[in-house]
Amino acid sequence: MNYKDKDPGIETCELSSEAASARSEYFKLYRAEHPESIKAVRLRYWEKKAQEFYGVDYVGPKPGEELSSQARELRRKYYADYREKNSEAIKKSHKAYWERKAREL
């Protein structure tokens, strides 16, 4: 279920630029201060997707592994497909990033 299904008014809610930048800064600091919880969320996501995809054939991660081989395979395929379909957007994003870094120097 999508969060928008729960609250139909959420689409019309727009933040002011100050509120949006404050929210962005808060989450940026949260990610910097809690890298373990962010990593755990991502690992749970890929394991859940592997369980959904493989169903009864799903095999969980072996002891000492963060992700099962099935979850790693799904993640690799997803990002390979994403890079293939969005190569121009990725190039633009990288270019913008390095231009911004150059201006900061």
AA letter at 50? A
Query: 20: domain range?
Result: 15-104
Residue 16 φ/ψ region, left for φ over 0, alpha for ψ in the -120 to 50 degree band, beta for the rest: beta
Q: Which 8-state DSSP code applies to residue 55? A: G
Q: Which spans in 55-86 are helix H?
A: 69-85
pLDDT value for 105: 82
Give, for all 105 residues of the chain, the pLDDT tens digit: 444 555 555 555 678 889 888 999 999 999 999 999 999 999 999 999 999 999 999 999 999 999 999 999 999 999 999 999 999 999 999 999 999 999 988
Count of structural domains within the chain = 1
Q: Which 8-state DSSP code applies to residue 3? A: H
Cα 37 from Cα 59, distance rounded (Å)? 23
Q: Which 8-state DSSP code applies to residue 37? A: H
